[in-house]
Structure 1
Amino acid sequence: MSTEFDLEALLAARGEERYDLHTRHLNPQLPRMLHTIGFDKVYERAEGAHFWDAEGNDYLDMLAGFGVMGLGRHHPVVRKALHDVLDLSLADLTRFDCQPLPGLLAERLLAHSPHLDRVFFGNSGTEAVETALKFARFATGRPRVLYCDHAFHGLTTGSLSVNGENGFRDGFAPLLPDTPVPLGDLDALARELKKGDVAALIVEPIQGKGVHESPTGYLRAAQELLHRHKALLIADEVQTGLGRTGDFYAYQHEDGVEPDLVCVAKALSGGYVPVSATLGKDWIFKKVYSSMDRVLVHSASFGSNAQAMAAGLAVLSVMEDEQIVARARTTGELLKSRLAALVGEYELLADVRGRGLMIGIEFGRPDSLKLRGRWTMLQAARKGLFAQMVVVPLLQRHRILTQVSGDHLEVIKLIPPLVIDEADVERFLDAFTAVMDDAHSGGGLMWDFGRTLIKQAVAGR
C-alpha cells in the first residue's frame, strides 16, 4: 500500500537545498551564474506581477518568466479552470477519440487570425517552430528555410537551424539547409528566392534579441515576394503574440500581412502548463495530412492534453474580459514614452524602442571623458557588461527583476506581465532613474560591481 505523498512537507524539509540540488544534479553553471551576479534569491510565493521572499519583501517582475506569465502568476480564472478540468476526470489522451477542448481552443485562437484555418497543438515554442518548418518544407517540396540575422526561434535542432546567434549554434552542426538574411533587407530576400529552393522565411515581427522591430512595410513586401516565388511566410509569435505588443499578434500592426503559418506558445496557458500552437492555412494541413495513412505523420504525445487546452481557453477568456490587449498597449505606451524622455538626460542611455509591453533599453558610448574611459574598459572586457551592471542594482537595491536582452548586447528587455499597472510603471521608472543617476555620478556600487564582472569575464575566456 502506497503512502500519501505530501508535497508541502517535502518542500518544507528540502526547500533550502534548492541551489545545492541544482549544482549537483542539473545545469551547474546556473547557480554559479546566479551567485556571481547576486541573483541567488529565494522567492517564497508570487501573485500577478510580484514575488515575495521569506522576509515578506515585494519584488516587481519585469521579466514574466521570459514572457510565459502574460497574465501574471496564479490568475484565479486560469487556476480555477485547471482545478475544474482535473476534477472532471476526463478520458484524456486516449488518442483514439476526438475530445471537445482542443477543437474549442482552436476555434477561439483562429478567431484572432481569420485568414488561417487549422491548428496543431504541441508543448513549447520551439516545437511550434519545428512544426512550421516541417509543414512548410513538405507543402512546398523545397528544403531551404530563410531566417533573419539575430533571430531566436528555439534550441532544438530544427529551430536551431534558423537561429541567428552563432553562440547557440556552435558545436551542433550539421543543421538543416538554411540561409540568414538581414531583417528588413528585401533585396537579399529576393536574391535567395530566385534560387528556387526556398520553402519559407521565418521571422519575428519584433526580434526578442535586442528588441528590433521589422521596418514598416517589410512584412507585407516580404510576403508578396515569397508568394510570387511560391514560398511561405512563417510568423514566430511565440514571444510577441497574445497581446504582448499591443495587438493580439505583432504582425497585425501592419495592414495586409497574412502569414501562412503562425507559431504561438509561452503565454497561452497562463504559465501553468507547457503548450504551443502552430496555426496554418487549410491547404498546408491537407497536404501534410493527405490520407488516413498519414494521420499520425506529425503528432505530439502530450499535445492537446486537457489541462493545456483548459488553461488556453481560460487565458483567452481573461484576455477578452479584462481587455488585456488594450491594457498592454496603453501601459506600454506610458512606460516607453517616459523612458524615451530620459534619453536626452543620460549620456549612457542611447535608445528606447519596442511596442506595447515589449521594450528595449539600449546603452551606448558616453561623451564625457570620465565615463568614456570606464565604458571603454567594460567593452574591452566583454560587451554587455554595462547592461548587466544596470540589471543587478535594479534587483539588489530596488527589488525589480529584469534581464539583459542577449549575449554581448548592451540592451535590457522589459517583458513584464501584461497586468502591470501605473503604480508598477512608476516604481520601475523611479528605480531605473536612481540606477542611472548612480552610473552617471562616476562612482558608487555600480562601478565596483563592474570590476567584479570584468574579473569574471576575463577568467571565463
Structure 2
Amino acid sequence: MSKEFDLGRLLAERGGERYELHARHLNHQLPRMLRTIGFDKVYERAEGAYFWDADGNDYLDMLAGFGVMGLGRHHPVVRKALHDVIDASLADLTRFDCAPLPGLLAEKLLAHSPHLDRVFFGNSGTEAVETALKFARYATGKPRIVYCTHAFHGLTTGSLSVNGESGFRDGFAPLLPDTAIELGDLAALERELKRGDVAGFVVEPVQGKGVHEPPPGFLLAAQELLHRHKALLIADEVQTGLGRTGAFYAYQHAEGVEPDLVCVAKTLSGGYVPVGATLGKDWVFKKVYSSMDRVLVHSASFGSNAQAMAAGLAVLAVLEDEDVIANARATGELLRTRLAALVDRYELLREVRGRGLMIGIEFGRPSSLKLRSRWTMLQAARKGLFAQMVVVPLLQRHRILTQVSGDHLEVIKLIPPLIIGEAEVDRFVEAFTAVMDDAHGGSGLMWDFGRTLVKQAVGNR
C-alpha cells in the first residue's frame, strides 16, 4: 500500500525552497527578476483583496493575478461550489454524453449576451481567442485577421499572430497571415477589408497594454464596415469581461455594438480552475460543426470539466447576487477621480484613464530641469523604468502589489479584485501620493533605485 500523500506536510517541509525550486526547474529568469526589484516576497495565505506574509503583514492586491481573481481570492460561494462538485463524484468528461453543467453555464453566459447563441468552452483566454480565430476563418472562408498594434490576445501561435507587441513575437515566426492597424483607425481597417481576404477583426474594447479605449463610435463603425465586407467582429473580453469595466462586457459601453464572437476567461474561473469561453452566433457554429463527421473538429480534452463549470456558475451567481459590477463601476470611478485630481499636483504624472476597475496611470517627461535630467537618464537606458520605480516602493514600503502595464510603457495598470471598496481606495491613493512626493521631493532613495534599474537594463542589452 502506498504511503499516504500529505500536501500540508510537503508544504511545511519544502515550502521555504520555493525560489530555489523555480530557479532550478522552471523559468530561471523569474526568481532572478523578482530578486532584482525586491519582489521576492514569501506570501503564506490570501483572502479577498489581500495577501499575508509569514510575519502577519497584509498586502493589498491591485493586480488580481493579471485579472484572474476578479472576485478576490477564495470567495466562499465559489469555494463551496467546488467542494460540492468534487463531493458529488460526477461522471465527468466521459466525452460520449452531454453533461448538465456546461449547458447550464452556457445558458447563464448567453443571458448576458442576448445577440449570441452558442458557447465553446476551453481552458484559457488564449484558447478562447484561438477558437475565435479558427471559427472566423472557417465561417467566412477567408484567411486573414486584422488586429491592433499594442494588442494582447495570448501567446500560443495563433493568438500570438494577433499580438501587437513585437517583444512577444520576436523569434517565433512565421506566424499566421495577419495585419495590424492602429486602434481607432477606420481608414486602415477599410483598406484591409477591401482586399477581400479578411475573416475578422479582433479587438480588446479596452486595451490591456497601456489601458487605451478606442475613440467614441469606432467599434460600431468597425462593425458596420466588417459586415459590409462579410467579415466578423471578435471582441476579446478575456480581461475586460464579467464586470471589470463596470458593465458585464466592455463593448456594452458602446451602444449598438454586437460582436459576432466574444472571448471570456480570467474572472470566470473564480481564481481556482482555468476556463475560457468563446461565445458566438448560431450561423458561425453551424458552419464549423456542419455535420456529424465534424462533431470533434474543434474540441478540448479538459474543456467543459465539471470543476470549471461549477466555478463559472458560482462566479455568475456572485456577480448578480452581490452587485459586484455596480461596485466595480462606483469604486472605479472613485479611484480614477481621486487619482486624476493629482495630475496637476505632480509634473511626472501625465494622465489617469480607464473604466471601472481597469485604470491606467501614465507618467511623462517633467518640466523642471532637475527632474528632467533624471527622467532623461532613465529613458536613455530603457523606457518604462520610471513606472517600475513607482511599482517597487508601492510594494516595499506600502505593501501594495501593482504592475507596469507593458514593455517599454511608462504606465501602471490597476486591475484589483472587483470587490474592493473605499478603504482600499484610500490606502492606494495615500500610498501613491507618498511615492509621488518622494519622486518629486528631496529624497534620493527612489532615484538611487532608478540607477540600479539603469545598470540592470544596460547590462541586459
Q: TM-score, normalised by structure 2?
A: 1.00
> What's the counterpart of residue 299 of structure 2?
299
> What's the counterpart of residue 133 of structure 2?
133
What amino acid does structure 2 have at the position aligned with 1:310? A
Shift of 1:443: 3.0
**Deviations, residues 127-155 of structure 1 (Å, cap 9, x unaligned):** 00000000000000000000001000000
For residue 284 of structure 1, give the secondary structure of its aligned residue in structure 2.
helix
> What's the counterpart of residue 3 of structure 1?
3
> What's the counterpart of residue 352 of structure 2?
352
Q: Distance in 2 between the 1:430 and 1:399 partners?
A: 12
Alignment map for 1:195-214 (pairs within 5 Å): 195-214=195-214
Q: Distance in 1 between the 2:329 and 2:310 partners?
A: 26
What amino acid does structure 2 have at the position aligned with 1:216? P
Query: Conserved in 2, the CA contact under 8 Å of 1:118 and 1:281?
Result: yes
Q: Distance in 1 between the 2:452 and 2:318 partners?
A: 45
Q: Which runs of 4+ in 1 moved over 4 A?
A: none
What amino acid does structure 2 have at the position aligned with 1:279? L
Query: Conserved in 2, the CA contact under 8 Å of 1:129 and 1:159?
Result: yes
> What's the counterpart of residue 242 of structure 1?
242
Q: Distance in 2 between the 1:382 and 1:165 partners?
A: 16
Query: What RMSD in Å do the two structures reach over aligned CA positions?
Result: 0.4
> What's the counterpart of residue 222 of structure 1?
222
Alignment map for 1:356-367 (pairs within 5 Å): 356-367=356-367
**Deviations, residues 158-187 of structure 1 (Å, cap 9, x unaligned):** 000000001100000000010001100000
> What's the counterpart of residue 145 of structure 1?
145
Gaps of 5+ in 2: none
What amino acid does structure 2 have at the position aligned with 1:139? A
Shift of 1:31: 0.2
What amino acid does structure 2 have at the position aligned with 1:322? E
Query: Conserved in 2, the CA contact under 8 Å of 1:106 and 1:118?
Result: yes
Q: Distance in 2 between the 1:442 and 1:194 partners?
A: 58
What amino acid does structure 2 have at the position aligned with 1:405? S
Query: Conserved in 2, the CA contact under 8 Å of 1:163 and 1:169?
Result: yes
Query: Conserved in 2, the CA contact under 8 Å of 1:260 and 1:280?
Result: yes
Q: Distance in 2 between the 1:110 and 1:266 partners?
A: 17
Q: Distance in 1 between the 2:214 and 2:2 partners?
A: 57
- Among all aligned residue pairs of Structure 1 and Structure 2, give the percentage whose two residues are the same amino acid: 85
**Deviations, residues 320-349 of structure 1 (Å, cap 9, x unaligned):** 000111000000000000000000000000
Aligned residues: 461
**Deviations, residues 177-221 of structure 1 (Å, cap 9, x unaligned):** 100011000000000000000000000000000000111100000
Alignment map for 1:86-235 (pairs within 5 Å): 86-235=86-235
Shift of 1:444: 2.7
For residue 171 of structure 2, give the secondary structure of its aligned residue in structure 1.
coil
Q: Distance in 1 between the 2:443 and 2:428 partners?
A: 22
For residue 362 of structure 1, give the secondary structure of its aligned residue in structure 2.
strand
Shift of 1:442: 4.2
Query: Conserved in 2, the CA contact under 8 Å of 1:63 and 1:403?
Result: yes
Alignment map for 1:39-118 (pairs within 5 Å): 39-118=39-118
For residue 452 of structure 1, give the secondary structure of its aligned residue in structure 2.
helix
What amino acid does structure 2 have at the position aligned with 1:295? V
Q: Distance in 1 between the 2:239 and 2:16 partners?
A: 32
For residue 352 of structure 2, give the secondary structure of its aligned residue in structure 1.
strand
Gaps of 5+ in 1: none
Query: Conserved in 2, the CA contact under 8 Å of 1:141 and 1:199?
Result: yes
What amino acid does structure 2 have at the position aligned with 1:61? D
Shift of 1:280: 0.1
Q: Distance in 1 between the 2:3 and 2:185 partners?
A: 63
